[in-house]
Structure 1
Amino acid sequence: MQRDNQIVSHIIGINALVWIFTLVMESQGIPLNLYGGMFYAISPLFQPWQPLTHMFMHGGFMHIAFNMYALYLFGSILERVWGWRRFLFFYMSAGLGAALIHQIATGVEAYMLFDSVYPAEGWREIYIPVVGASGAVMGVVVAFGLLFPNTRLQLLFPPIPIAAKYLVLIVIAFDAFFVIRGIDDGIAHWAHLGGAATGFLMVKMWSLNRDAFY
C-alpha cells in the first residue's frame, strides 16, 4: 500500500539533500547556486536546466524550513485529494510558471534600469540567481485556499486562527505590495505571484473538466 503523501515526502527529502549537499560543496569553495540557481535568460550564466533546478535549491535554513513546512502542511492534503501524479504535475507546473513570470519581470526591470540613470543596476539584475521552491509552494497554498476556503488554520505569528481563503489573500497582498512599491528585499516576489497565478489558473481549469488527470 502506498502512502498518501509519498510525493510530498520525496520532494521534501530531495530538497533537504540538495541543501545539505550545497552546504558541503560551498565549504569546498564550489557555489552550486551559480549552477542550479536561475539567472535571467540573457545572462551568460543562464543554463536551460535552471528553471527546473532552481526549485530544489535554497539559501539559508529558514528559507528551506519555511518552504518545506508549508509544502508538508498544504501539499499533503492536496496529494491525498488529487493523487500523487496530479499533485506532482501541479507542483512542477506552478514552479515553472513562477520561473517564467520571474524571467519576464526581471527582463522588464533590467530594461527600465538600463534606460535610467542607474544602468549598472540593470546588469546587477541579470547576474543575481533566484533559488527556492517558494513559487511552487505558493501555487500549492493558493490551490488549498481554493479547494478548502473555510478551513481554519492556526498562524504561528501571530498565534491566531484564520480561514484559508484569507491567508491566501494576505500572502498575495504581501507580495503584491513589495512589487508595487518596488522594494528590493532580496525576495523574488514576482516568482511568488507567478506561482500563485499558475496555481489559480490550473485549479480553475481543472474545475471545468473534473475528469482531467484522474
Structure 2
Amino acid sequence: MFNNIPPITRNLVIINVVVFIASFLLPQLNTMLAAYYPFSPNFKSWQIITHMFMHGGIMHILFNMFTLFSFGPILEQSLGDKKYLILYFLSGLGAFFLFNLWNFVEVQKIISDMEALGLNPAEIFAKANVNYVGDLKISATTVEGQELSQNLYIALRTPMVGASGAIFGVIAAFATLYPEAKIGIMFIPIPVKVKYVLPIVVIGSIYLGVTGNGGGIAHLAHVGGAIVGFILARIWRKHLYRFN
C-alpha cells in the first residue's frame, strides 16, 4: 500500500519519520533542527526549513503523517510534483513567518516592560543560550520583573517544531480546490464538507493563538500555513487541468 502513495508524499513521510527517529537517538538534533525565535541566540538559518521535519512526540508525528497521507496524494496528482512541493514548503515558511511575527510582538512587549523597570533584557538573552554554562541568577528582584524575565527566557528557549504548518497548507489547498469533498471528523456521526471545516479550524486556531490558550501548540503557525495554501490554490485553480 505504501508503494501506491505518490512519490513526493511518500518521500515526505519517509523523511519526517527518519528525522523523528534520528532526533530520538541523537537528542542534540532537537536543538539544531527545531526553529527558535529568529532573534534568539539559539536560532540558526537552516531551522526555517528543518523545523518542518521535527516533531514533539509519537502522537504528533502520527497525526501529521496521517493527515498528509489523507490529503497529499490527491493534491500531488492534481497539481503535479513541482507545484505540490512549492505548496508544501511555502506553507511551512508561511507558518514560521506568522508564528514568529506574533512572537516578535510579544517579545518586544516583554522587553519594553523590562526596560521600564530598569532591567536589562540582554542579561536574559545571554542566559537563554542553550550552550550557556553560567549561573541562572537574574537581577530582577520584584515579582513583576522576575515574571517578565522568565517569560522572555521561555520565549527565547522554546522552539517550534512540526510539519503542521505545511500540512495545514495542504489541507487549505484541498479545501479550496475541492470544497464539496466530505471528510469524517471524530465525534461527528456524518461526513462534513471540507469547505465548512476549514474556516472553523482556522478561526479556532486564531483565537487560541492570540489568547495564549493553545496548550503549547503553535496555532498561529497552522493559520500561516493555511493562508499560504489558500492563496496558492486560488492562484492555481483556474489552470488546474493544465498542470499535467
Q: State the TM-score, normalized to the length of structure 2.
A: 0.79
- Do 1:206 and 1:212's aligned partners in 2 also have CA atoms closer than 8 Å? no
Q: Distance in 2 between matches of 1:132 and 1:155?
A: 22
Of the three residues 79, 85, 89, the one matched with 1:88 is 85
- Which residue pairs with 2:131 in the alignment? none
Q: State the Cα deviation string for residues 26-61 of structure 1 (Å, max 9, x = none).
A: 3xxxx3111000001111111010010000010111
Seen in structure 2, the aligned counterparts of structure 1 residues 128 and 206 have a Cα distance that, compared at 3 Å, is same
1:130 matches 2:164:
no
Q: How does 1:1-214 map to 2 (within 5 A)?
A: 5-26=6-27, 31-116=28-113, 117=144, 118-120=147-149, 121-207=151-237
Letter matched to residue 77 of structure 2: R
Identity of aligned residues (%): 37
Q: State the TM-score, normalized to the length of structure 1.
A: 0.90
Question: 82-91 vs 130-139, which deviates more?
Answer: 82-91
Q: State the Cα deviation string for residues 89-144 of structure 1 (Å, max 9, x = none).
A: 11011111111112211111111222344422123212211000000000001111
Question: 64-73 vs 115-124, which deviates more?
Answer: 115-124
Deviation at 1:183, TM superposition (A): 1.7
Deviation at 1:3, TM superposition (A): 6.0
Seen in structure 2, the aligned counterparts of structure 1 residues 159 and 185 have a Cα distance that, compared at 3 Å, is same
- Do 1:106 and 1:126's aligned partners in 2 also have CA atoms closer than 8 Å? no
Seen in structure 2, the aligned counterparts of structure 1 residues 176 and 43 have a Cα distance that, compared at 3 Å, is same
Structure 1 segments (4+ residues) deviating >6 Å: none
Q: From the CA coordinates, give the structure whose radius of gyration is larger.
A: 2
Q: Distance in 2 between matches of 1:63 and 1:4?
A: 21
Q: Secondary structure at the match of 2:183?
A: strand
Question: 81-90 vs 113-122, which deviates more?
Answer: 113-122
Q: Distance in 2 between matches of 1:66 and 1:34?
A: 23
- Do 2:209 and 2:218's aligned partners in 1 also have CA atoms closer than 8 Å? no
Unpaired runs of 5+ in structure 2?
A: 114-143
Deviation at 1:181, TM superposition (A): 2.2
Unpaired runs of 5+ in structure 1?
A: none
Q: Secondary structure at the match of 2:200?
A: helix
Seen in structure 2, the aligned counterparts of structure 1 residues 113 and 154 have a Cα distance that, compared at 3 Å, is same
Deviation at 1:81, TM superposition (A): 0.7
Deviation at 1:160, TM superposition (A): 3.2
- Do 1:134 and 1:192's aligned partners in 2 also have CA atoms closer than 8 Å? yes
Letter matched to residue 25 of structure 1: L
Q: Distance in 1 between matches of 2:101 and 2:12?
A: 27
Q: Secondary structure at the match of 1:115?
A: helix
Deviation at 1:205, TM superposition (A): 2.1
Question: 99-108 vs 199-208, which deviates more?
Answer: 199-208
